[in-house]
Amino acid sequence: MIEIATSEDFDAIAALNVSAYAEFAPKLAPGGWEVMQKNLQNIAERSRVAQFMVCRTGGDLVGSVGYCPAGNGDPSIFRPDMAAVLLLAVHPHHRGKGLAKALTAACIVKAREDDGAASIGLFSSELMTAAQRLYRGLGFEFESELPMRLGLRYFRFVLPLTSNIRRT
């Protein structure tokens, strides 16, 4: 079951993010993992523009995602009419159970029904091939390559939310 995170969850989300992304550490440019960890752990700061949702199993937080309403995303990555999916993370021991799909789908629903966004976007690195398969399976399409960071290529994926088009 997906629920809205509270500020009491922020430390657990930060720890989950580090666990979920640690597999990429050896493939980053020198010093990259230290930079990435800071980005993965700044949940309180990100919560100013994004709402976090979590999944729990037996009381343990095992999945999380940040949803950023249209207009609140990083303008160097997201257009003003684009909602965003941020920091999708599932604990390695809980992968393959559909949690990432459910969390991403919850963001799509919020963008479409609550926010009325024209589209929803996300970015992913060249290393995150499993995530990219998930996003494509949900209808996201590759839109563009972003500037390299941490020695990796990054890509923006976008899902148009055409049901929001008003007919006159």
Identify whether the C-beta of residue 1 lies closer than 8 Å to the C-beta of residue 55. yes
What integer best gives the mean pLDDT of the chain?
93
Q: Residues near 159 by Cβ (< 8 Å), separated by ≥ 6?
A: 108, 119, 120, 121, 138, 139, 140, 141
Q: What's the pLDDT score for residue 164?
A: 43
Cβ count within 10 A of residue 166: 5
Say what angle helices 99-109 and 129-137 make with each other, to 10 degrees.
50
Query: Using one digit for the tens of pLDDT, what is the confidence trace for 5-64?
Result: 999 999 999 999 999 999 999 999 999 999 999 999 999 999 999 999 999 998 899 999
pTM for this one?
0.92
CA distances (Å), origin 90, targets 13, 18, 104, 137: 10, 10, 11, 17
Residues 6+ apart with CB under 8 A from 97: none
Q: Where are the alpha helices (DSSP H) in the chain?
A: 10-21, 32-41, 43-46, 99-109, 129-137
Give 165's DSSP letter.
Answer: P
- What is the enclosing helix (H) or strand (E) of 53? strand 51-57
